[in-house]
Amino acid sequence: MEESVKRSSIQHDGTVKEVCSDSVVVSIVSCAACAGCAARGMCSMTENEERTIDIRGKYDVAPGDKVTVLMEESAGIKAVVLSYLVPFFIITGGLFGLQSLSVNELAAGLISISLLVPWFLILYLNRKKLDRSFIFTLKT
């Protein structure tokens, strides 16, 4: 019964870089959606980026071990909302609002983009609280 109620999670394969007393540092390679394309060598759109994640907790792993990093899907959705959707609505809302006030297009565009400064300042000031809400674990 508990298996059917189990929360869905986002998984990434990674490599253990460092093991500390209360955490594990894991490196994952973030691949673009087109990384499997046969023409990726000719295209400049592909991006393979190595990211390092600090996972709190004690795990029986050693540097070099291949592991699977898990994060709850709801946390992933929260990250998308905070980093993409809210800024999108700030920019479009500002742009349409300023356009309705007959502000010059260039000025409206620049002001709309500058409206992101307070949003990202809010995110920066709350980074520790946000960091605690994005919990990564290792699949055992």
* Domain extent listing, the chain: 2-138
- Tens of pLDDT, residue by residue over 83-120, are 999 999 999 999 999 999 999 999 999 999 999 999 99
The whole-number pLDDT of residue 5 equals 38
Q: What is the pLDDT of residue 38?
A: 54
For range 115-130, the mean pLDDT: 94
Backbone angles phi, psi at 32, to 5 degrees: -70, 160
Q: Which of 83, 68, 89 shows the shortest CA–CA distance to 130?
A: 83
The tokens describing 65, both together, are 């071990």
Lookup result for tokens 């990211």? 51
> Do 55 and 115 form a contact (C-beta atoms < 8 A)?
no
Q: 95 vs 80, 98, 121, 123, CA distance in Å?
A: 22, 5, 20, 22
pLDDT, position 48: 66
Q: Look at 34 and 82; give whichever has higher pLDDT.
A: 82
The mean pLDDT value for 129-134 works out to: 84
